[in-house]
Amino acid sequence: MRRFAMQCLLASVVLAGAGKLSAAVIACPVMTDIGALLSFNSIANACYSQDTMFWNFIYTPGPSAPTASNVSADLISQTGSIDVHGWNFSADWAQAVAGSLANFTLSFRIQVCNAAPCLANVNPGTVITAADATYAPESVFPPGPETVSWSNGATVTLTSGSPGPLPPNGNIGLGAGTPGPITVTAVFSGTGGITQTSLRFYETEPNSNPLTPVPEPASAGMMLGGIGLIALGFYKRPEARARELSRLLQQSDPNRSADSLVR
């Protein structure tokens, strides 16, 4: 009986240890889908990019919206005097017929790293100072609004006539900045159609400008990812998306960020 009790105790210790090992902060995938991101469901089970962490991804599709595994998710990661972090999501959110909406709710949480392995990447005093959102309307089916809100209370509404980036200067009221966490939530009405939505955060180091340079739309269709890593199309294979990314980066103006700094 004593031997059996010891075996049970040992088994419980092993299982508890396995549970701890299963939760870890790992590098974010660069090109993936929302279905994969849903596994990053707690701060102990987050993913990181450079010196920021992402977790608590949520995606709730409407009746005609693509499922989570059919929504491409591409990491936005741009470094410089002001870093840009976030995600660009690509799919075909188009209303099938009247009453069959492609609505969705999508959200995630971000903060400056406070845990290994990305803690070593953090320059002390680094904070998130701004954020913005964009979406890409379909020309055939002009879309209804997408409301984007942040956990500090800021809200913007994207429309076909004003697809973003909004707010225009990235100022969502963070003042001197915060290390986070901050949650962003996008709610699309489901009418008409959109093909992309991009949710970005701007991070600055001590003694830098508290607001950020925000790329303006390159065209009516927008270049949603700025000069960071951007979404490259829902239907493209990873190799094609990578080639398209290289082409877009070569076309980008490397001096744009400095010239458009908000003061």
**Cβ burial 170-190 (10 Å sphere, 16+ → b, else e):** bbbebeebebbbbbbbbbbbb
In a domain, 14, yes or no: no
> Which tokens sit at 97?
């017929």
In a domain, 225, yes or no: yes
129 by Cβ neighbours in 10 Å (0-12 / 13-18 / 19+) ranks as buried
Task: Give me the pLDDT at residue 197, please.
Answer: 98
Q: What is the pTM of this model?
A: 0.74
Task: Give me the pLDDT at residue 80, please.
Answer: 84
Determine contact, residues 212/82, Cβ cutoff 8 Å.
yes
Task: Give me the pLDDT at residue 207, please.
Answer: 59
Residue with the two structure tokens 């701060």? 43
DSSP letter for each residue of 217-228: PSSTT--TTTTS
What range does the domain containing 41 cover? 23-259
- Counted residue by residue, the chain has a size of 263
DSSP letter for each residue of 153-203: S-EEEE-SS--SSBSTT---S-TT-B---EEEEEEE--SSEEEEEEEEEEE
> Which tokens sit at 217?
């739309």
Give how many domains the chain has, as a whole number: 1
User: Could you read off the pLDDT tens digit of each residue along the chain, which spans 263 residues?
Assistant: 444 444 444 344 333 433 333 468 999 999 999 999 999 999 999 999 999 999 999 999 999 999 999 999 999 999 888 999 999 999 999 998 777 999 999 999 999 999 889 999 999 999 999 999 999 999 887 899 999 999 999 999 999 999 999 999 999 999 999 999 999 999 999 999 999 999 999 999 765 555 544 444 433 333 334 333 333 333 344 444 444 444 434 443 444 343 333 33
In a domain, 17, yes or no: no
In a domain, 51, yes or no: yes
In a domain, 1, yes or no: no
In a domain, 154, yes or no: yes
Amino acid at 187: V
In a domain, 53, yes or no: yes
Angstrom distance (rounded) from CA 244 to CA 164: 22
In a domain, 64, yes or no: yes
